[in-house]
Structure 1
Amino acid sequence: MSREDFKNLPLHKKIQKLYIDGTFVVAIRYYSYKVNLYLLGTDYVEVFYNHKLDKIDKIDFLNREHTRMKFYLDQINISI
């Protein structure tokens, strides 16, 4: 599945794809979110879980230019 195909999936299908084919890497806290990082093939995918509302707000590919990377790099080695 291409990145574009994954992006166009509805949220419940993205969750299913990550559950079946993804590998959980690490979880971080980021503002009001718990962000779970998954490896899907050769791509990293972030799942933004809003614990106050008990729902997933967003699933998207990791933006390696975002300042959030520092939280991941403190815990794991991601090739940039």
Structure 2
Amino acid sequence: MIKEDFKKLPLHKKINKLYTEGTFVVGIRYYTHKVNLYLLDNEYVEVFYNHKLDKIDKIDFLNHEHTRMKFYLDQINLKL
């Protein structure tokens, strides 16, 4: 699936695609969120879960330039 097509999907379809076709890599805590990282079609996707509100706030492709990368790189070796 092309990135642009995935971005256009409604949240519930993104969730379904990640859970059925993606591979869970690691979960981190980031401020008020638990962020789960998945590998989908050779792309990393982040799922931002707000545990206080018990809902997923955002699903988006990993930004390799973001400071969050240091949390992932401390735990795993990402293929960048």
What's the offset of the Cα at 1:41? 1.1
How many residues align structurally? 80
Runs of 4+ in 1 over 6 A off after TM superposition: none
2:17 aligned with 1:17: yes
Alignment of 1:1-80 (within 5 A): 1-80=1-80
Q: Which AA in structure 2 matches 1:58? A: K
Q: Which runs of 5+ in 1 are unaligned?
A: none
- Shift in Å at residue 62 of structure 1? 0.1
Cα distance in structure 2, aligned partners of 1:10 and 1:66: 24
Task: Give the distance between the partners of 2:35 and 2:79, measured in 1 at CA.
Answer: 19
How far 1:10 moved relative to its partner?
0.2
Q: Give the Å deviation of 1:50.
A: 0.1
Aligned-pair identity (%): 80
Calculate the TM-score normalised by the size of structure 1.
Answer: 0.98
CA distance in 2, matches of 1:28, 1:49: 10
Q: Give 1:10's aligned amino acid.
A: P
Instruction: Return 5+ residue gaps in structure 2 as ranges.
Output: none
- C-alpha displacement at 1:79, in angstroms? 2.6
- Please report the TM-score for the alignment, with normalisation by the length of structure 2: 0.98
* Residues 27-62 of structure 1: CA deviation (Å, up to 9, x unaligned): 000000000000001100000000000000000000
Query: Using the alignment, how far apart are the partners of 1:28 and 1:41 within structure 2?
Result: 21
